[in-house]
Structure 1
Amino acid sequence: MNDLASLAPLLCGVFLLAGLVKGLLGLGLPTVAMGLLGLVLPPVEAAAILLVPSLVTNLWQLLAGPRFGALLRRLWPMMLAVVAGTVAASGVIAGAAAPAAGAALGAALALYGGIGLGRLRLRVPPTAEQWAGPLAGAVTGLVTGATGVFVVPAVPYLGSLGLERDDLVQALGLSFTVSTLALGAGLALHGALPLAASGGSLLAVLPALAGMWLGGWLRGRVRPGTFRLCFFAGLLVLGVELIWRGLA
Structure 2
Amino acid sequence: MDYWTTLIVAGAAFLFSGAVKGLAGIGMPTAAIALMTLFLDPRTAIALVLFPMIGSNAWQVLRAGELQRTARRYAVFAVVLLGGVTLTAFATQNTGDRALLAVLGLVILFFVAVSWRGLVPPLLARHDRSAQIGFGLLAGVVGGMTAGWGAPLAMYLATKQVDKDEFVRATGFLIFVGSLPLCLAYIQLGFMTGPLAGASALMLLPTLVGFSLGEIFRNRLSAQAFRKAILIVFVFMGLNLIRRAIWYG
TM-score, scaled relative to structure 2:
0.88
Aligned to 1:26: 25
Question: Do the aligned residues in 2 keep the contact of 1:110 with 1:240 (CA within 8 Å)?
Answer: no
**Comparing 131-140 and 89-98, the one that deviates more:** 89-98
**Comparing 218-227 and 42-51, the one that deviates more:** 218-227
The yes-or-no answer on 1:98 pairing with 2:70 is no
Aligned to 1:89: 88
Q: Distance in 1 between matches of 2:2 and 2:93?
A: 20
One of 217, 240, 244 as aligned partner of 1:238? 240
Structure 2 counterparts to residues 126-141 of structure 1, below 5 A? 126-141=125-140
Question: Do the aligned residues in 2 keep the contact of 1:111 with 1:236 (CA within 8 Å)?
Answer: no
Structure 1 residues 120, 33: CA separation in 2 closer, same or farther (over 3 Å shift)? farther
Aligned to 1:111: 110
- For residue 164 of structure 1, report the CA deviation from its aligned partner: 4.1
Structure 1 residues 153, 96: CA separation in 2 closer, same or farther (over 3 Å shift)? closer
Structure 2 counterparts to residues 11-160 of structure 1, below 5 A? 11-91=10-90, 94-95=93-94, 97-160=96-159
Q: C-alpha offsets along residues 18-41 of structure 1, whole Å, 9 cap, x if unaligned? A: 011111111111110121122322
Q: How many correspondences in the alignment?
A: 246
Give the fraction of aligned pairs with identical amino acids, expressed as a percent: 26
SS in 2 for 1:192: coil
Structure 2 counterparts to residues 172-211 of structure 1, below 5 A? 172-211=171-210
Unaligned 5+ residue runs, structure 1?
none
Moved over 6 A (4+): none
Unaligned 5+ residue runs, structure 2?
none
Amino acid at match of 1:64: R
Q: Distance in 1 between matches of 2:232 and 2:126?
A: 36
**Comparing 206-215 and 225-234, the one that deviates more:** 225-234
**Comparing 125-134 and 94-103, the one that deviates more:** 94-103
Question: Do the aligned residues in 1 keep the contact of 2:108 with 2:235 (CA within 8 Å)?
Answer: no
Question: Do the aligned residues in 2 keep the contact of 1:18 with 1:33 (CA within 8 Å)?
Answer: yes
- For residue 8 of structure 1, report the CA deviation from its aligned partner: 1.7
Aligned to 1:5: 4
TM-score, scaled relative to structure 1:
0.88
